[in-house]
Amino acid sequence: MKYLALIFIIFIHCSQKKENGLPISIEGEWIPVFEDIGFIYDWSGLKFENDSAYKIDDRWGLLMGPYSISEDKLLIKELKGKSEYTILNLTEDSLIIKKNGDVNHYYSRKLEFDKDLNFNTISISAHRCFDLCWEFDYVLDSDGLEVFNGKYNTQTLGIKKGKLNDKLVKEIDSLFKRSNINQLDPDWVAIPDVDGWLINFDINYNENESINFSTTDFNIPYRIKPIFQRIKVYLNEEGLM
């Protein structure tokens, strides 16, 4: 009988959670919709992950606080207090919310996945800053062939060639397919900070299309940053950077 009672309590709890929530999960990354004004660098979107809400833009993600949903109300507990939004519409691809009379439209970042977007080479040049940062050149091609040239403050100095395993190449390829790089205008990338870690990117993709830009690690565009972070972790693990 005690197990039957426990099952009944769990059933009631789950039913209430579903009734107070939404039929579709809001978790994921939501990018603001702009009309007829092209690519915008200083956009501000939302990310919901593991019961926490984040404000995201093309530089970083900022934790807002834990969130909860009750019927059509989205509540976010921020440091400055509780923020309440009304969910006007939520589908797999779009989100419309209202706060204080302002209506904001978002689309799911999942829509940016482009299976036909393929990188040929990713070239990264990192420069020293006040003798603290790592200085190196790194080139990776779509076959996983790599060339690392450590110049300063790196675990490996000089040129070392190698090959990434297929799993890691596929992981980087998947991140690149989500980069929306066709919409990235180098002129909109943040101007490097004087005292930051300067990074140069030169990316060749698809039918010999290319893009290059320079910025600091803090200001790497939001969609490109996961690629850089994954490569940086790999270089550390391999005793290169």
**How many residues are given for the chain?**
241
| Helices and strands in the chain, H and E counts | 3, 14
Burial pattern 195-230, b for ≥16 Cβ within 10 A else e, equals ebbbbebebbbeeeeebebbbbbebbbbbbbbbbee
Tokens of 52: 């926490």
Beta-bridge partner residues of 125: 137, 200
Full-model pTM: 0.80
What does each of the 241 residues of the chain score in pLDDT, given as a tens digit?
433 343 333 333 333 333 355 678 999 999 998 754 444 455 789 999 999 999 998 777 789 999 999 999 999 999 889 999 999 999 999 999 999 999 999 999 999 999 999 999 999 999 988 778 999 999 999 999 999 999 999 999 999 999 999 999 999 999 999 999 998 888 888 776 667 899 999 999 999 999 999 999 888 998 999 999 999 999 999 999 9
Q: Is 169 helix (H, G, I), strand (E, B) or coil?
A: helix
Residues 134 and 116: their CA atoms lie apart, in Å, by: 34
Tokens of 156: 């490996």
In 142-197, which ranges are E strands?
Answer: 145-152, 158-163
Domains of the chain: 20-112 (2.40.128.280), 119-237 (3.30.1560.10)
pLDDT single digits (tens) 26-83: 999 999 987 544 444 557 899 999 999 999 987 777 899 999 999 999 999 998 899 9
Report the 10 Å Cβ neighbour count for 176. Answer: 21
Question: Burial, 3: exposed, middle or buried (Cβ in 10 Å; 0-12, 13-18, 19+)?
Answer: exposed
Beta-bridge partner residues of 205: 119, 209
- Residue 145 phi, psi (nearest 5): -70, 135
Which pLDDT value is given to residue 23?
Answer: 73
Helical (H) or strand (E) element with 60 = none
pLDDT single digits (tens) 178-189: 999 998 888 888
Residues 227 and 241: their CA atoms lie apart, in Å, by: 16
